[in-house]
Structure 1
Amino acid sequence: MQKLFLIISSLSGMISVALGAFGAHALKEKLQSAGTYDTYQTAVQYQFYHTLALLGIALLMGKISNQWLNYAGYSMTYGILIFSGSLYILCFTGMKWLGAITPIGGLLFIAGWIFLLITALKTI
């Protein structure tokens, strides 16, 4: 699992930096005229924050081995895909119904942090 989460966090970090730069330089005017620039920025920020959390989880796996860290890693991964992914798609397609899916990703982020807390409580 450690290697998997290191790979996912590396790819997600690369993608979030690329999408952030692309949005700021190439898409800013288009997104602002569509009223979705703030939404796009939120997607990039949350992807990056949780990419760093996933990297931390992967590094912790070198010291601690338990199911809760696995759950945390998967929750962060799927949270990134669902939360940020739905917002990116919403910005590019205008499909407003995707806004109903986004909170599922947010709940996965919260679950990931809870699983990380459980790991801390069970290992200390």
Structure 2
Amino acid sequence: MVGKESDCVIAAHICQESEHCSLLYENFKKTCGKESEQCKTLDGGYLCAALRESLKETILWNCHCNDPSKAECTEIWKSLFEDICIQDAQMNQVSAFSDNYEDGFKQDFFSGNMEEDNQSK
């Protein structure tokens, strides 16, 4: 059975008792909240992804909501794991990698074909 401290509300209260955890979480909420101006920029999205990464070392990282009807719990969980700002930054990273990889593949492919054509003539 999962311990009570894994509930996001309880985990948030425990986090508030730790200066390190509370500073990380408050900074994350302030910088990366839904209404944050930071979230509207690509750099802000990357910053939020980094701040979220720092939360992995806290009690919040493994929190769950066993009762989805508990709005406070769900709000905390969504702020950590369903943040659109962070998802946008991660999608841009994947997209940029895919574009770079695809361009490199096209260059290799076409240059390889051109060499074969020249050798056979």
Q: Fold match, TM over 0.5? A: no
Which protein is richer in helix relative to its size? 1
> What TM-score results when the alignment is normalised by the length of structure 1?
0.29
